[in-house]
Amino acid sequence: MRRVVTGLARRIREQYARPGAVAEQAVSSVRTAYSFVAEASTMARFSAALQESARLGLRQGLAKGIAALGSNGNTFAIYAFNVCYGSRLVMYHGYQGGTVFIVSSLIIIGGVSLGSALSNIKCFSEATAAAERVLEMVRRVPKIDSYSDAGDRGSRVSASAPP
């Protein structure tokens, strides 16, 4: 689930660059767009650029929905298993019914709580996708070595202003 959501978040972020470029170009040259009556065509280009982002957003929502539905289905399946197994423990092995019920309830509550805590994976995955770009810039090796002594040096530096 995390991989799917992270991959979709990364692709959505990359896709937003296209409509951002269209909007930036339109705003920076608003007089030209207005003089050539290009508002409608610019809006059409912007809308077309947003279509892929919208499609990816729908896929991300579907993935999250399937995960939520699956987690609820798992909760009920585990509860049914606990009731079935717990009743066998009470009937055939002499366990106390209250103890079996409490343990079964704690298992369900713990699982639901863990699932709720893991719902923040979206935030972590988006932060991870954003951090990748920052780390890419940090790890970049510049073409100019700032520690190198090679190159031309001035013979004399004067602090006075030129006449």
**How far apart are alpha carbons 157 and 163 in whole angstroms?**
15
The total domain count for the chain is: 1
Q: How far is CA 93 from CA 38, 49, 116, 148, in A?
A: 81, 65, 34, 80
Q: Which residue has the higher pLDDT, 115 or 71?
A: 115
Q: Which residue has the higher pLDDT, 106 or 15?
A: 106
What CATH number should be reported for the domain holding residue 56?
A: 1.20.1560.10
Q: What is the pLDDT of residues 33-79, one digit of tens each?
A: 777 777 888 888 888 888 888 888 888 888 877 777 766 777 788 88
Cα–Cα nearest to 77, from 46, 51, 111, 27 = 111
> How far apart, in Å, do the first and last CA atoms of the chain sit?
70
Q: What is the pLDDT of residue 148?
A: 79
The average confidence (pLDDT) of the chain is 82
User: Is residue 127 one of the residues assigned to a domain?
Assistant: yes
State the DSSP H helix or E strand holding residue 112, giving kind and residue range, or none if neither. Answer: helix 97-117
User: Is residue 149 one of the residues assigned to a domain?
Assistant: no
User: Is residue 63 one of the residues assigned to a domain?
Assistant: yes
Give the domain extent around 120: 2-138
Here the tokens at position 67 are 């995960």
Q: Is the pLDDT of residue 161 over 70?
A: no
Cα–Cα nearest to 39, from 30, 47, 51 = 30
User: Is residue 152 one of the residues assigned to a domain?
Assistant: no
User: Is residue 153 one of the residues assigned to a domain?
Assistant: no
Question: Around Cβ 43, how many Cβ atoms within 10 Å?
Answer: 12
State the DSSP H helix or E strand holding residue 136, giving kind and residue range, or none if neither. Answer: helix 121-139
